[in-house]
Structure 1
Amino acid sequence: MTSPDGEDRSPRPRGRPRAFNDRTDQNTIKAVDRAMRLLRTLSTMQDATLSNIAQSTGDPTASAYRVLVTLQAHEIVELDASDQTWHVGPGAFQIGSTFLRRTSLIERAQAPLRELMEATGETANLGIRSNDSVLFVSQIETHAPIRAFFPPGTRADLHASGIGKVLLAAMPEARRDAVLPDPLPRYTAQTISDAEALGAELARIAGQGHAVDDEERNEGMRCIAAPVRNLHGDVIAGISVSGPTSRVATDRIAEFAALVTAAAETLSQRLGARGPSQPDD
């Protein structure tokens, strides 16, 4: 629409200014561009030091540090003080979870998780590995008054959780050693804090196709988990049920494990995995 004086008064597309097609420098913020470039670079790195990051992005070390500290204030990145390495932080997940809700893993997990919760009567969880921990990305809660609760964004140690152990069991030993802390933290009398004992446990998990967190993180709570595979057969996530040991009793572990494994297999096939997973011989 043009006014009598020749000015364009056409309605503007909502959410974009009149010059939204203009990609010149005046419509970009260099500091934000630098921060996003650094964050994208960091997401492809493991155990990244400040000098590694600066070298990869081509930024001066001081500039890269200022960007990292700014992102750290919003939990977009985090610093591991023990070895002075930087990692993508939980704040990035919290923002990105709005996108994840549209992607296949979380979207396609909803029906299997709900069916699993209804079949077992316990809380069903979906988790992925994030650096050196499990990140819970979805959950369907049981209606029971006493229940496990791992809201999206919650983290857990890999060696002391059911999903964490199925993820570890699928890793090459060298990669496993790189992500596990030394020494392994102990949370309860049942926590496996000996590296050799954990290795034997992971071999058993790989053989049977599921893991049991037997009060290893929280006393009185038991969790049973199974791996989720993608189109290429890679283990990319884990499904679990969690509940009090009074209900997830030892004589029901086999029953629960079959239900969890079936749910994980259903999700795997929805993600393109071909055929049921085969435990190691």
Structure 2
Amino acid sequence: MPKQSARETVQGTQSIDRALSLLTAFSAERPRQRISDLVSTTGLGQSTVSRMVAAMTSMGFIRHDPLSGLYSLGPEVVDLAGIVLNDHPVHAAARQIAQNLAASLGLGVNVAERSGQHLFYLCNFEGKDAPRNSTLIGRGGPLHATALGKALLIDSDRASLESLLGATFDRYTARTITTVDALHQEMAAVADRGYAIENEELALRRACLAAPIRGRGGDVVAAVSVSGPLSAMNLAEREDFLAMVLIEQADQISTALGYVARAATTA
């Protein structure tokens, strides 16, 4: 079998890098773009972008709207994303539970895992009282300003929090936690309750509760949440009920993943 030359290897790597840069140029904020937009975003030459977009369009990874002239991600990307989700053990264990919970409560129900310094949505279902016009699946979010993020960090000490997130954080509303000391203090309350609360910390007039999901070894591998407008969540009257239901469902997902809770022992 002939050996691949160093030049061929470099050229092949460059082609992959360019193709990936084109795919990742699309985002939730910019789902449709022109060739000129892709040139600006990727820094590639227009002839290169045009050639690669044409090839990727023919393969189904990019879609072209002839009326607007805009390009967007194609069905092959959705197919690959579906393969990833369907092969994910947390998604498999949580999907039906989350869907049923959204239907019974009428609220939004999300499942997410941690990806570096952010959370990553694996499931997203809307109840009748918390409708959305787009899915959160595949999107990220801040750990410090979300109930899901705080549930994912429930076992973290102060040193771990600062190592992961730094000493100060982005502010989204007047209620956002912006320092590691304040987050560490909040995490003590989260650990004591067994669930996290987000009350207008990421977005105004919205609230969320989240509970951790544990894997076979006992580590937190994901979190599940219920969320919606303040009026629908009605935490003043419903927090205890929602938290109880949420923790029960989180435990059910954890059990499906092989987690066995250790019984408390007394001296």
Q: Fold-level match, TM-score > 0.5?
A: yes
**Distance change >3 Å, CA 148–CA 125, structure 1 → 2:** farther
Which moved further from structure 2: 178-187 or 107-116?
178-187
Q: Is the Cα contact below 8 Å between 2:108 and 2:131 reproduced in 1?
A: no
Which of the residues 248, 257, 261 maps onto 1:271?
Answer: 257
The answer to whether structure 1 residue 210 and structure 2 residue 195 are counterparts is yes
Q: Kindly provide the CA deviation profile for residues 76-113 of structure 1, in whole angstroms up to 9, marking residues without a partner as x.
A: 9xxxxxxxxxxxxxx9x974552331332111111210
Percent pairwise identity: 28
| Distance in 2 separating the partners of 1:137 and 1:32 | 35
1:12 alignment partner in structure 2 = none
What SS does the corresponding residue of 1:175 show, helix, strand or coil?
A: helix
Q: Is the Cα contact below 8 Å between 1:146 and 1:244 reproduced in 2?
A: no
Q: Is the Cα contact below 8 Å between 1:129 and 1:135 reproduced in 2?
A: yes
Structure 2 gaps of 5+ residues are: 26-72
**How do 1:1-281 residues align onto structure 2 when only pairs under 5 Å count?**
31=9, 71-75=20-24, 95-144=80-129, 146-147=131-132, 150-250=135-235, 251-275=237-261
TM-align CA RMSD: 3.2
What SS does the corresponding residue of 1:163 show, helix, strand or coil?
A: helix
**Distance change >3 Å, CA 246–CA 178, structure 1 → 2:** same
Greater Rg, structure 1 or structure 2? 1
Aligned-residue offset at 1:70: 5.9
| Distance in 2 separating the partners of 1:234 and 1:211 | 17
**Distance change >3 Å, CA 71–CA 188, structure 1 → 2:** same
Q: Is the Cα contact below 8 Å between 2:162 and 2:180 reproduced in 1?
A: no
Aligned-residue offset at 1:184: 0.8
**Distance change >3 Å, CA 214–CA 149, structure 1 → 2:** farther
Aligned residue type for 1:127: A
Structure 1 gaps of 5+ residues are: 1-22, 36-62, 77-90
TM-score normalized by the length of structure 1: 0.65
| Distance in 2 separating the partners of 1:33 and 1:137 | 35
